[in-house]
């Protein structure tokens, strides 16, 4: 089954170039074009694409406004994935906070586009829209958890915008072992090190699904899939030991420990 795409850009040359780059991907079919956000919303509602390649700055309604409108109009299971394509890197944080699948800086690089399409394929596979991509993760986890009633497991295809060495980087949710606050700064810890986040733990707790993410204290949130084991400590508190290569001990408050044990059925 092909990946149905709509290209949204106010520049004809940019649309033609992206179409040309997409042609080398046999499973991608461009089913429409749009020149601004309003046209993008209409095209998406009519053609039901799997993905929108969306410019940010356009005359009239821009790409970010279009994404907000579509999220208001469409249920999550039919909402197209969105890859932003723009020359303005400063929009990356807002794009990721709106749950854009990826962010490509013009001129779009072939390799970056290929990586973005792989994320799209994984996202569509998770929704049951296409067959399993070759690079899809096995889904094996160190701690087996089921979604609590009324919750939805976070889409692994959605990432967080993080900062390191003057760059804005997309972190895949599955790669984040834990999120901690250190001296008022929020950090995401991965196998590749620490990345600074703009959002606080309170905001992130509302955004990230539980499970797999669980707030263990006022200063930390843990991805349950990264827990190697739990150890009881004093006065009903616990410590969570994260697996390699993060290999970190995280304190769990007494109240949160009770909630976590109930979530895990222990």
Residues 13 and 104 in one domain: yes
Order of all β-strands in the sheet with 238-242: 227-232, 238-242, 249-252
**In angstroms, rounded to a whole number, what is the distance separating the alpha carbons of residues 93 and 104?**
13
Domain count, the chain: 2
- Does 257 lie in the same domain as 174? yes
**CATH code of 201's domain:** 2.40.50.1020
Pick the last residue of a domain from 85, 108, 126. 126
DSSP letter at 147 equals P
Is residue 115 located within the same domain as residue 221?
A: no
d(CA 63, CA 56) in angstroms, rounded, equals 4
Confidence of residue 84 (pLDDT cuts 50, 70, 90): confident
Nearest to 54 by CA among 99, 100, 22, 122: 100
Contact yes or no for 75/46 (Cβ under 8 A):
no
Give the 3-state secondary structure of residue 29. strand
Asked if residue 95 and residue 7 are part of one domain, the reply reads: yes
Q: Tell me if 31 sits within 8 A of 4, measured CB to CB.
A: yes
Average pLDDT over residues 153-164: 63
pLDDT band at 135, cuts 50/70/90? low
Residue 63 in contact with residue 37, Cβ under 8 Å? yes
Is 154 within a domain? no
Which residues have a Cβ under 8 Å from the Cβ of 140 and sit 6 or more positions away? none
In a domain, 140, yes or no: no
- Is 97's pLDDT higher than 70? no
Query: 73 with 173, same domain?
Result: no
Check whether residue 114 and residue 180 sit in a common domain: no
Q: Which residue has tokens 């040359």?
A: 13
pLDDT tens readout for residues 195-236: 998 888 888 888 887 778 989 988 999 998 888 888 888 777
**Domain that residue 187 falls in:** 159-264
Q: Is the backbone peptide bond immediately before 212 cis, with ω within 30 degrees of 0? A: yes
Question: What is the rounded CA–CA span in Å between residue 222 and residue 225?
Answer: 9
Q: 68 and 176: one domain?
A: no
User: What's the rounded Cα separation, in Å, for the pair 100 and 94?
Assistant: 9
Largest CA distance in the chain: 66
- What is the pLDDT averaged over residues 99-113? 79
**pLDDT value at residue 18:** 96
The answer to whether residue 32 sits within a structural domain is yes
Rg (the chain; Cα; Å): 20
Range in 59-73, 90-104, 140-154, 234-248 the model is least confident about = 140-154
Sort 147 into a burial class: Cβ within 10 Å, 0-12 / 13-18 / 19+.
Answer: middle
User: Residue 28: what pLDDT?
Assistant: 95
Q: 43 in a domain, yes or no?
A: yes
pLDDT at site 48: 94
Identify the CA nearest to 155 among candidates 81, 48, 64, 69. Answer: 81
Helix (H) or strand (E) holding 38: helix 37-47
């Amino acid at each position: 089954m092909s990946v149905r795409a709509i290209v949204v850009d106010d520049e004809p040359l940019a649309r033609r170039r992206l179409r040309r780059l997409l042609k080398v991907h046999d499973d991608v079919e461009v089913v429409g074009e749009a020149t601004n956000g309003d046209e993008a919303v209409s095209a998406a509602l009519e053609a039901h694409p799997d993905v929108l390649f969306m410019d940010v700055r356009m005359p009239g309604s821009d790409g970010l406004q279009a994404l907000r409108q579509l999220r208001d109009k469409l249920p999550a299971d039919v909402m197209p994935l969105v890859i932003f394509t723009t020359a303005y890197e400063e929009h990356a944080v807002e794009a990721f906070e709106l749950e854009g699948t990826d962010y490509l800086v013009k001129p779009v690089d072939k390799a970056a586009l290929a990586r973005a399409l792989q994320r799209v394929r994984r996202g569509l596979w998770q929704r049951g829209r296409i067959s399993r991509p070759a690079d899809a993760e096995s889904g094996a986890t160190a701690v087996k958890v089921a979604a609590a009633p009324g919750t939805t497991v976070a889409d692994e295809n959605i990432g967080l915008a993080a900062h390191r060495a003057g760059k804005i980087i997309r972190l895949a949710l599955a790669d984040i072992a834990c999120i901690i606050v250190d001296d008022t700064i929020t950090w995401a810890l991965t196998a590749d090190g620490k990345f600074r986040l703009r959002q606080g733990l309170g905001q992130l707790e509302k955004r990230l699904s539980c499970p797999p993410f669980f707030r263990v204290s006022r200063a930390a949130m843990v991805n349950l899939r990264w827990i190697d084991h739990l150890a009881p400590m004093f006065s009903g508190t616990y410590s969570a030991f994260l697996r390699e290569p993060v290999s970190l001990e995280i304190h769990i408050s007494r109240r949160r420990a009770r909630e976590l044990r109930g979530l895990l059925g222990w």
